[in-house]
């Protein structure tokens, strides 16, 4: 048998998401957006099963529901990845064309022309019903479409699932792809012979669950995922997920449900039970069927909510070589055997029937002999409720746990759909790669236009900064050298608004008031002096020394001219204390200003403060912390329309600095008014003190990253109120640093959503993110010789990774 689709097209018309089929059936079409694989707990599967039942149980008698899940082996196109910078191009080249399984899930509601129990074994699906194209829906069809919309609305209220109406382009593409046998680059005919089924270059076959005897004792909404379950934690998967994504072959899973009249089927089953009872002594098979039908009848009679259905499940699979079909069939049988299910292997006419009726317009054509009878709750256990890891439109690149292909996760969440605060925390013991992970996240943020201020103790971002020398500045203490930052610099008078004067006032008061309590009168006095200074200083090289000299030169008339009482500003005290930072003062080099304007931080998009060398010098450290606040106020705070991130690396070590925790809490509160985020990196959550300040910080941290921790995750789970499934996910983290595709695994929780992701990077990014060890030393030596970090990385990669 040869079918030419162009001559026998199954669709007469499409109106929005409604198909008017040539055989008289009406099909309402939706595309499903399902939860990510591995993200669901046992309770989640139960809740989804309950949602399905509530949504479908009230559909009218005669409705046919067809859920179709299509799995195809495809090369990863990498079209969604950015491709502008050195590391972006390396990432795209590394992952492009990597094979993975693409999954598309559809949900069809069919109102068949023939709503009775099918008597004929085989129905010609291409037989055209002579009728004119309807101008609109009649009353019964309108009612059917209305109840379908109600059901979809109920399903969409579950935050884990979403069903969108398909449009004409999607419906035609789905239809053409199905009947073209998923061949690409050419159109072809369907050849269905007794010995084989072939469409173009692909050979097809089918395994089906088509009667009650196929099932074992019980079915469930989920089962244990043996691939990830261990002695101390349990992972769950959907009951038939083994023939879903995990099959790793080209195939389609079709689940068809006929919603029948409860009373009609009770009579049918009672009659069948009576007939089997008379012949039960003539064979074991009859006894088994007799018992199963008895159970179904008992359930219907006892449960008023039971909804009798007929159902059909099949797995259509294909390969380029006919001999490969036997191997795939063996894999599917093995998966079903794990579930105590015995599938039916169709041949000849039966196979043709199952293949054609797996198209949504034809799925009402299955006969009674192709359908099992059961309760709706039982049938819904066979639905597939998870899909691939899902990429957001934009975000940070991680990798999925299935195929190690890139996944974009929007951890910024501009529209705040998942999180209200985009602050993040990274938890990992020493040596597990937290700085590597931070480099990966921050580098991508930076290249997408986000400003960064990093407070670092270990030089973890040196190579990162040197990749972008014109846009970055590293501020570290070196005896006798300027810090390279001038809080008083302005590009012009337009820079001088109330907020700028407020910031400079806070900076000065913190510098010379030595942490003492500052009265409002003092603040007003300092602001008046600053305004007067800028108005009366023509030289655009404003600086701390310039302000000092201005106050010194006008000390006799300044307060009188500005109507400032001497009690509110002690000029002598100011000049005495600030003399340490100007002229010949001990720390004058910290604020030294020269003609090089490259040190203006407003022009920099990455500012790294390295505090490790000054941690024992209380005075310099105090100044550095004040400069950090000044830098944040002048960059991250300046433009609310521009995204900015403040990162505190090795946060636990920074906590020994006075007032750091309180300062960070201040940033957390202030960041709400800005278009920004705060990140902290800790070896353990217990390094954060158990007090109200820490509790406030954690409450406002809604993006969590955790790497592997051999000591366990109980404290993390307790203080962050993680779910039991979150904890199981954490316990399942495994790294592979020896295989061909080296990766670390990361637990990522964004609001309520969580999953395990992988971090696999190209060799160029690996070299850029290294923070210690002999390989890092080699790269830095090459950099010292070449003076260019990109050249150093490429030279290192060529010598280390090329075969």
Interval 705-764: pLDDT, tens: 999 999 999 999 999 999 999 999 999 999 999 888 999 999 999 998 999 999 999 999
Structure tokens at 369: 């002999």
pLDDT tens, 626-665?
777 777 777 777 777 788 899 988 877 777 766 677 778 7
Q: Which helix H or strand E contains 561, and what residues bound it?
A: helix 558-561
- 441: exposed, middle or buried (Cβ count in 10 Å: 0-12, 13-18, 19+): buried
Strand 472-476 to 372-375 pairing: unpaired
Phi and psi at residue 532, to the nearest 5°:
-65, -40
Residues near 481 by Cβ (< 8 Å), separated by ≥ 6? Answer: 589
Q: DSSP secondary structure string, 210-265?
A: -SGGGS-S---SEEE-TTT-BTTB--EEETTGGGTGGG-SSEEEEEEEEE--HHHH
Angstrom distance (rounded) from CA 793 to CA 782: 8
Which residues are paired to 770 by β-bridges? none
Structure tokens at 555: 């000390």
Measured distance between the N- and C-terminal CA atoms of the chain, rounded to whole angstroms: 52
Strand 744-750 to 753-759 pairing: antiparallel
pLDDT tens, 324-350?
999 999 999 999 999 999 999 988 888
Mean pLDDT in residue range 25-49: 95
Structure tokens at 562: 């500005």
Q: Which helix H or strand E contains 783, and what residues bound it?
A: helix 774-786
- 314: exposed, middle or buried (Cβ count in 10 Å: 0-12, 13-18, 19+): buried
The pLDDT of residue 625 is 74
Distance of CA 368 to the CA centre of its chain: 43
Q: Which of 572, 124, 519, 132 is nearest to 349 (CA)?
A: 124
Q: Which of 675, 724, 616, 143 is nearest to 151 (CA)?
A: 143
Gyration radius from the chain CA atoms: 34
Contact 399, 437 (CB under 8 A): no
Q: Which one has a higher pLDDT value, 289 or 142?
A: 142
Q: Which one has a higher pLDDT value, 447 or 502?
A: 447
CA dihedral of residues 762, 767, 773, 774 (deg, nearest 10):
110
Angstrom distance (rounded) from CA 789 to CA 784: 9
3-class SS string, 672-706: CCCCEEEEEEECCHHHCCCCHHHHHHHHCEEEEEE
Contact 323, 221 (CB under 8 A): no
DSSP conformation class of 192? E
pLDDT-derived band at 194 (thresholds 50, 70, 90) equals confident
Mean pLDDT, the chain, rounded, equals 87
The pLDDT of residue 164 is 97
CA angle (18, 23, 29) in 5-degree steps: 20
Q: Is the pLDDT of residue 12 over 70?
A: yes
Which residues are paired to 745 by β-bridges? 758
Q: Which of 469, 435, 502 is nearest to 651 (CA)?
A: 435
Mean pLDDT in residue range 513-527: 80
* Domain 409-480+603-760 superfamily per CATH: P-loop containing nucleotide triphosphate hydrolases (3.40.50.300)
Which residues are paired to 237 by β-bridges? 223
3-class SS string, 366-428: CCHHHCEEEEHHHHHCCCCCCECCCCCCCCEEEECCCCCCEEEECCCCCCCCCCCCCEEEEEC
Looking at 13-27, 225-239, 374-388, which range is the least confident one? 225-239
What are the extents of the domains in the chain?
5-381, 409-480+603-760, 487-592, 773-802
The pLDDT of residue 265 is 66
Angstrom distance (rounded) from CA 91 to CA 97: 12
Structure tokens at 73: 């082996």
The pLDDT of residue 598 is 44
3-class SS string, 146-181: HHHHHHHHHHHCCCCCEEEECCHHHHHHHHHHHHCC
3-class SS string, 71-100: EEEEECCCCCCCCCCHHHHHHHHHHCCCEE
Alpha carbon of 228 to those of 233, 269, 729: distances in Å?
9, 42, 9
Residue 202's SS3 state is strand
Residues near 511 by Cβ (< 8 Å), separated by ≥ 6? Answer: 577, 578, 581, 623, 626
pLDDT tens, 554-575?
999 999 999 999 999 999 999 9
Q: Is the pLDDT of residue 596 over 60?
A: no
Q: Is the pLDDT of residue 166 over 50?
A: yes
pTM: 0.86
Q: DSSP secondary structure string, 308-368?
A: EEEEEEEEEEEESSTTHHHHHHHHHHHHHHHTT---EE--HHHHHHHHHTTSGGGGGG--G
pLDDT tens, 99-138?
999 999 999 999 998 765 555 666 777 776 655 655 556 7
pLDDT tens, 472-492?
988 887 777 777 778 888 877
């Amino acid at each position: 048998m040869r079918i030419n689709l162009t001559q026998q097209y199954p669709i007469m018309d499409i109106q929005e998401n409604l198909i008017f089929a040539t055989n008289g059936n009406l099909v309402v079409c939706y595309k499903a957006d399902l939860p990510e694989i591995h993200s669901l707990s046992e309770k989640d599967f139960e809740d989804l099963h309950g949602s399905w039942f509530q949504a479908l149980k009230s559909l009218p008698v005669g409705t046919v529901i067809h859920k179709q899940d299509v799995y195809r082996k495809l090369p990863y196109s990498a079209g969604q990845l950015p491709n502008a910078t050195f590391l972006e191009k390396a990432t795209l080249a590394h992952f492009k064309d990597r094979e993975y399984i693409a999954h598309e899930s559809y949900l069809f509601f069919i109102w068949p022309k023939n709503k009775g129990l099918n008597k004929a074994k085989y129905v010609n699906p291409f037989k055209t019903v002579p009728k004119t194209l309807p101008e609109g829906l009649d009353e019964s069809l309108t009612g059917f479409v209305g109840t379908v919309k109600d059901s979809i609305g109920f399903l969409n209220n579950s935050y884990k699932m979403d069903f969108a109406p398909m449009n004409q382009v999607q419906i035609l593409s789905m239809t053409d792809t199905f009947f073209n046998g998923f061949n690409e680059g050419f159109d072809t005919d369907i050849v269905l012979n007794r010995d084989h089924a072939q469409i173009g270059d692909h050979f097809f076959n089918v395994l089906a669950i088509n009667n009650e005897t196929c099932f074992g004792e019980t079915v469930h909404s989920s089962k244990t995922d043996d691939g990830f379950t261990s002695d101390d934690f349990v992972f769950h998967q959907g009951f038939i997920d083994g023939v879903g994504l995990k099959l790793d072959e080209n195939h389609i899973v079709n689940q068809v449900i006929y919603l029948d009249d409860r009373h009609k089927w009770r009579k049918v089953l009672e009659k069948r039970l009576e007939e089997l009872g008379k012949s039960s002594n003539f064979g074991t098979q009859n006894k088994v069927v007799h018992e199963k039908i008895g159970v179904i009848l008992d359930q219907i009679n006892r449960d008023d909510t039971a909804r009798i259905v007929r159902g059909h499940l099949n797995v259509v699979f294909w390969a380029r070589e006919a001999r490969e079909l036997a191997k795939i069939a063996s894999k599917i049988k093995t998966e079903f055997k794990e579930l105590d299910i015995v599938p039916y292997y169709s041949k000849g006419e039966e196979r043709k029937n199952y293949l054609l009726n797996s198209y949504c317009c034809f799925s009402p054509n299955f006969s009674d002999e192709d359908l099992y009878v059961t309760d709706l709750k039982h049938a819904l256990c066979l639905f597939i409720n998870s899909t691939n890891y899902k990429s957001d439109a934009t975000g940070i690149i991680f990798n999925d746990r299935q195929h190690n292909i890139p996944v974009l996760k929007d951890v910024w969440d501009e529209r705040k759909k998942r999180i209200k605060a985009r602050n993040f925390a990274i938890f990992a013991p020493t040596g597990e790669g937290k700085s590597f992970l931070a480099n990966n996240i921050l580098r991508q943020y930076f290249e997408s236009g986000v400003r960064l201020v990093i407070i670092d103790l270990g030089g973890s971002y040196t190579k990162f900064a040197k990749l972008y020398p014109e846009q970055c500045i590293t501020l570290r203490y070196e005896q006798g050298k300027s810090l390279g930052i001038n809080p008083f610099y302005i590009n012009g008078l337009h820079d001088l608004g109330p907020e700028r004067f407020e910031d400079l006032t806070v900076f000065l008061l913190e510098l010379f008031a030595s942490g003492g309590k500052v009265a409002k009168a003092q603040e007003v006095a300092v602001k008046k002096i600053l305004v007067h200074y800028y108005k009366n200083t023509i030289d655009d090289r404003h600086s701390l020394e310039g302000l000092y000299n201005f106050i010194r030169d006008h000390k006799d008339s300044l307060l009188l001219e500005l109507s400032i009482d001497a009690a509110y500003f002690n000029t002598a005290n100011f000049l005495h204390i600030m003399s340490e930072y100007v002229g010949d003062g001990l720390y004058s080099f910290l604020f030294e200003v020269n003609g090089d304007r490259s040190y203006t931080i407003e022009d920099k998009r990455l500012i790294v403060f390295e505090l490790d060398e000054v941690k024992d010098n209380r005075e310099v450290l105090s100044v550095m912390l004040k400069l950090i606040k000044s830098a944040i106020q002048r960059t991250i705070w300046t433009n609310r329309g521009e995204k900015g991130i403040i990162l505190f690396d090795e946060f636990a070590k920074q906590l020994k600095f006075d007032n750091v925790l309180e300062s960070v809490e201040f940033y957390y509160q202030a960041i709400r008014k800005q278009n920004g985020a705060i990140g902290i990196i800790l070896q353990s959550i217990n390094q954060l003190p158990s007090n109200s300040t820490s509790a406030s910080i954690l409450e406002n941290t809604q993006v969590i990253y955790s790497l592997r921790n051999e000591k366990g995750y109980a404290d993390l789970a307790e203080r962050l109120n993680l779910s039991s499934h979150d904890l199981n996910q954490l316990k399942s983290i495994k790294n592979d640093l020896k295989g061909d595709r080296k990766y670390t695994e990361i637990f990522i929780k964004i609001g309520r959503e969580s999953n395990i992701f992988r971090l696999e990077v190209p060799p160029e990014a690996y070299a850029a993110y290294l923070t210690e060890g002999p390989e890092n030393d080699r790269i830095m030596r090459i950099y010292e010789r070449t003076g260019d970090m990109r050249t150093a990385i490429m030279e290192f990669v060529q010598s280390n990774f090329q075969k």
